[in-house]
Structure formats: structure tokens, C-alpha cells
Structure 1
């Protein structure tokens, strides 16, 4: 009987514990339900949850940064943070065209050709920023000449190649090519590339922009010394002197061995109506032209979108500097040889029994006439408008 009593008390105690556990679970469920309801009414900003909990989620292919909590906390700390309705009211007329709705502090209106890494701190990407830009318009057949030419330019130069034959990957045989910028468009000219890829806001970091052909011999040329002479003589638009050979077209560009720089010449009778005008002064060819940053900003706007050979442009470059007969010149002490390789001409198309280069040359001559006509028409329209405005002002 004693054993039965003990067993009875044991069963009773377990029953009481089960009842107590059941009551606790039930109360816990009710409390959890009430807590869940109240949680939905609590604002996120009242919760002090460490933002590091939400720092990032990584997987095999991506890293996703969650800035939600940082953004919310920043809004609370900075009462000047613009709400969406206020941000939409931004209008800054002095911003670049199209960016008027942006706060000026975020506007990045200029760029460059500096290569950057895909990792690390952006501020540590560039070990050196090049000060000058050299561009060559090239075909693969001239690769060894370009290889020799590039070696005349120091690491102060960004190298940019415009490929008119579509062959780009083969240039990897040259170590420097792996660090150059390559732009490819089949059967296009130097000035077609320049108009589309050398916008003044893209090349703004560079003090001087070299826009050169591929068939130039640079055995007697040093780029750093050339820059020194350009600065010394105040040239905004220039070119190296040309060694007299069958590639010499204009007397102005002929090298003079007795001086560093010349800015004028005497040409054939009747060629120069004014000794300070092209082709006797204020003149360089479009073969190996070097522009200052400011001069290029003007010249780029003068390049016509459809007149891709640039013929006639050299006669108008003086409009971009003042006075042209002082700011445009030929650097004799650093000279080159025009090798006269008709590589781009061979990219033309044979028509009506004519060789490809003949069609290209005809197009060049037509463009020269068209450019002159457009310039004269534009100047006449400007003068007429100015005269009308002046007359109206005088009458009022």
C-alpha cells in the first residue's frame, strides 16, 4: 500500500507539471501574437539594430551591399537631406546641357582615357596620370612602323590607336599595345574617329593632343623635347618639320635646319595674298598636327560630321587661335619624314574602272571645296546677322 501511495503522488506531480507547461506555452503564444501585432506599428528608425548585421551577402558570383539601414540613419542625422519632392525641384542652368536637374556636386562633365582596375580603392587605381595624348590611325600592315613610332613617346603619353581595318587583337604582339586604347571601325578616316572619340570634354586632362597619320618616320623625333619647344615658343597648333622629299606638299612645313621653330615662309608667287595668312603663315598640315587643349576644343567644333577626310581644315585652323601667325608654327628641331604610304587610299572601292585610291582622292578634293563653301556661307550669315542687329540697335 505504501508503494501505491508513492506512485500516486508521483503521477499527480507529473500531471500538475504538464498542466503548468501547457499554461506556459499558451501564455507564450498569446504574448507572441500580441508582440507581433505591436511590432508592425513600430517604425524602423526606433529600432537600434547594428547596420553591420546587414553589411553584405556574398555568393560565388556576386557581392550585394545593403545600404538600407545606413541610408535611413543618415536621413535622421542630416535634416537637410532632400526628400523626393524637393529633389525634383533642382534646376541649375549653369550645369552642362541635360544635367540641369542634378545637384552640381554630382556632375562629372569631363572624362579621360586612363585605364582603371576592376578591384581595390578607386583612389589608388592610377600610379600616374599621363599629361599628353598621341593618336595614330592605323592598319595592321603598318604595325612595325607604329611600333617604332610609339617608342618615341614617353610614359607621359596615353597611346590611342584608331583601327580602320578591323584588325585589333594581332597588335598584342607588342607589349605596349596591351596598355593602349584601341578603337576599331572599318574603312574610316582619322577625322571621322577624332570627331566621335576625341570630344574636348573627353581629352580635357591632356595638355596636348597629337593627331597623327601612320606613315611617319620618327627617327629624328623626341616627343618630350618637342613639347618643351612648343611651350617655349608659345605654339597652340603645331607640327614637326618635314624632311624635303616627295612627300612635301607645302613650303611652310619644310624643315629648316638652322632654327628651332619657324612660323612663316615665302611660297610661290600669288599663293599668299597676305604674308600672315595660309599657306605662308598660320598654317600646318593635317598630317601630324599637335593641338593644345584649348585649340583642340575649338578645332573639334569646326570638324564637319560628314566631311571625314578633313581637307581644307588646315587652312581654317587659324580661326581657333589669336593671332594665328604667332600661335601656329613648325618645330624644325624635331622633324619627321612622310613616307607616303597610300594605305588608307587602298581602303576605297574601285568604281568606273578607277583604282580604289583614285576614288578616295576625288572624295578628298570634293570635301575641300565643300568645306570652303560652308565656311564662307557661315561667315557671310554671321556678318549679315551682325549687321542687321547693329542697324536695329542704331534705329532704336
Structure 2
């Protein structure tokens, strides 16, 4: 019995050192494996692992997919969405994030505000290099002429009066653009060609306020103007000095000038009113005695043009009647609309766009154009009156209720 007991004790004592060694080895191996797992784990993307939603019911799993110190937008959105309520155990029921910004421009509500580019310009850009180096000097003003090839010589002389501070836009109503390429400045101009259209048709479609927003002033001029006595830099200085939001150069012409206010006065820099024929003005502060310019050579500030553009009717292409309504866009209009006398132009009164009309019912083409101009004037006045009447009616009803 004694021998058996001794043998038994020897066996049990011999196993203890082996068990301890195994434990030490297992612990060491575990530490090593855990270490290597730990350093490799951040390179994994938990967003690519399909964990059942029940495993981690209330834990936000957010890991950056790359090793850059910045947090990715996907991670931020995943973090935000994971904080929403869970809708079920199926992956299809997982919460989804959605962008909706009501204050964004119409149609862009699903975009984050920082990516929206609501405005554009007519700056010419290169097809190579860095975008920020495309336009070393950005023009501050825009001049648009509506032209036909027959007035090429005169338009050339006019454009040369405008410095590189101007973006030049030519609207070609006769469809001829190639012939203009021989002019040096034509290479940096914007050419838009649609046959038999007027400058107000073009302006409504190609001079949207969000397109011309970078420009302090927008000039929208006819092609038959003489600028021998006109200096554009001095003109801009004067309209800034006198606070004119809507203006035009004074006019001289060999033919009769319709409105007294547009005639050049030999004394002074600017005038804002004039005495008209009896019966033309019910109020000395209203058109055509004040708050009035013609539409042959208007100049608009950025803010004034934004308003005027919205007032231009899409289907009324001649702009007749618009001059009487310009006062709706500035306040006080009799102070902010004026004529610059010291920088004047000559209206050559050349028949150009009128020749684009078509003869109908025994009338010459130019006569049909003239008839439509008069008709549009009546239509515009009617629409304006109806619109204001409806607005006042709605205001009155809202006050009652």
C-alpha cells in the first residue's frame, strides 16, 4: 500500500509542472494573436460586414474605411443614420439617411448646400490647367448688342469703345456669325445666333440674372448707335456718383426724338426729369417726365436687372411698354433712373431688324413688325394693370380674413 501511495504522489506531482507550462504557452499565444488582430482590425470596414441587426442592437458601428486622419462623409452619414430607430431585424429595414434642404434652389433640395453653384457667368475658360488660373482678370461689366452683318462696321466701332473690363455678347438675328471672326475682339466675344429674334427675346433667354450675376452693370444696346462722344469709364463713374440704378446715355439724332427726357442737355452731367408736351405727364415724378429711359440703350445695375428680367414677358419680344414700367424695379424711381448728358450717343435710326419681317396681307415686312410692336405695348399694359389689380384684391381679402 505504501508503495502504491508513493507512486501515486509522484505521478500527481509530475503533472503540475506540465500543466503550468501549457497555461503559460496558451496565454502567450493568445496575446500574440490578439496583438496582430488588433493592429490589423482598423483596416477592415465594418460597413462591408453583414452583421445581423440583432447582434448589436444599440451600438453605433462607425469606422473610417481608409487610414487617413479625416473622417469620411460616408462615415458621418453612417453615424447619423445609425442613431435613428431600428425598424426590424432585416437588413432591408435598416434606417436610411436622406438629404432635404428646403432653402436650396428649387429642384436642388436633395443636395447639400455646400455643393450648390446657383450662379454662372460668361467667362471663357480653358480646357487645360487649373480652373482657378483660367480667368486672370474677371470682367466687371457686360455689354450685349443685337446685331446683323449689315451693321458690322458700326458695331466694330462701338465695341472698341469698351475695355477688357467688359464681357462682350453678340446676339445675331440674321444667322451670320462666321464673318465676324476677322475682328480681333470677336475671338473673346460670346456669339449667340438665332434668326429673326429681338434683343428682348435674347435677353430673356440668355441674360438670366443668375448668369450675369458677376457683372456690376449690364448694357443691352441696339446696333445703330454712334459712340464718338461716349467714354464708358466716365459713364460708369457718373452713374455711380449720381446713384443711377437704371440709366442711358443722352441721345442726339438727325431725326425726331420721341421723348424729351432722352434728349441731351448741354449743361450738367445728368438729368432725371424733363418737361413734356401737355397731357403726357399726370405726375412730374412719373414717366415720361421722370423715372423713365428708352429701351434702345439701357444700362442696369445687377439688382435692377434681376427685377427687370422677371418683368419681361416671355412671349412679348419687342419690349414696347417696358420703358414705362422700369420704375417698378427701383425706389424712389425718380431719383434712381436718369440720363447721362455728358456722355451721349447718336441714334442713327437705321432700319435693320424691321427688314427681318415677312410681308403678309398686302403689308410690307417692316409694317408687320411695327404693328406687332404696338400690339405688344397694349398687351403689356393690360397685363401689368390686371396683375396689380389682382394683387391688391388678394391683399384686401387677406386683411378682411
- Taking a change above 3 Å as real, the CA distance of residues 74 and 258 of structure 1, as seen in their structure-2 partners, is farther
Please report how far the alpha carbon of residue 149 of structure 1 lies from its aligned counterpart in structure 2 after TM superposition: 0.1
Q: Which residue matches 1:8?
A: none
CA distance in 2, matches of 1:122, 1:204: 19
Deviations 1:15-69 (A, max 9, x none): xxxxxxxxxxxxxxxxxxxxxxxxxxx999559xxxxxxxxxxxxxxxxxxxxxx
- Taking a change above 3 Å as real, the CA distance of residues 234 and 251 of structure 1, as seen in their structure-2 partners, is same
Tell me whether 1:261 sits opposite 2:270 in the alignment: yes
Tell me whether 1:252 sits opposite 2:270 in the alignment: no
Indicate which of 114, 118, 122 corresponds to 1:105: 114
Structure with bigger gyration radius: 2
Please report how far the alpha carbon of residue 75 of structure 1 lies from its aligned counterpart in structure 2 after TM superposition: 8.2
Q: Is the 8 A contact 1:247 1:338 kept in 2?
A: no
Q: Is the 8 A contact 1:247 1:339 kept in 2?
A: no
Matches within 5 A, 1:147-226: 147-226=156-235
- Taking a change above 3 Å as real, the CA distance of residues 72 and 113 of structure 1, as seen in their structure-2 partners, is farther
Q: Which moved more, 1:78-87 or 1:295-304?
A: 78-87
Q: Is the 8 A contact 1:349 1:355 kept in 2?
A: yes
Tell me whether 1:373 sits opposite 2:366 in the alignment: no
- Taking a change above 3 Å as real, the CA distance of residues 175 and 72 of structure 1, as seen in their structure-2 partners, is farther
CA distance in 2, matches of 1:329, 1:147: 27
Tell me whether 1:313 sits opposite 2:329 in the alignment: no
CA distance in 1, matches of 2:256, 2:246: 21
Q: Which residue matches 1:339?
A: 348
Q: Which residue matches 1:37?
A: none
Q: Secondary structure at the match of 1:187?
A: coil
CA distance in 1, matches of 2:294, 2:247: 9
Q: Is the 8 A contact 2:295 2:323 kept in 1?
A: yes
Flag structure 2 segments of 5+ consecutive residues without an equivalent: 1-39, 46-63, 82-95
Deviations 1:287-307 (A, max 9, x none): 000000000000000000000
CA distance in 1, matches of 2:246, 2:331: 11
CA distance in 2, matches of 1:365, 1:94: 41
- Taking a change above 3 Å as real, the CA distance of residues 145 and 43 of structure 1, as seen in their structure-2 partners, is farther
Please report how far the alpha carbon of residue 80 of structure 1 lies from its aligned counterpart in structure 2 after TM superposition: 4.6
TM-score calculated relative to the size of structure 1: 0.80
Flag structure 1 segments of 5+ consecutive residues without an equivalent: 1-41, 48-70
Q: Secondary structure at the match of 1:264?
A: coil
Q: Which residue matches 2:24?
A: none
Q: Is the 8 A contact 1:210 1:289 kept in 2?
A: yes
Q: Which residue matches 2:143?
A: 134
Q: Which residue matches 1:385?
A: 394
Please report how far the alpha carbon of residue 245 of structure 1 lies from its aligned counterpart in structure 2 after TM superposition: 2.8
Q: Which residue matches 1:122?
A: 131
TM-score calculated relative to the size of structure 2: 0.79
Q: Which residue matches 1:293?
A: 302
CA distance in 1, matches of 2:66, 2:193: 48
Tell me whether 1:271 sits opposite 2:271 in the alignment: no
Q: Is the 8 A contact 1:244 1:255 kept in 2?
A: no
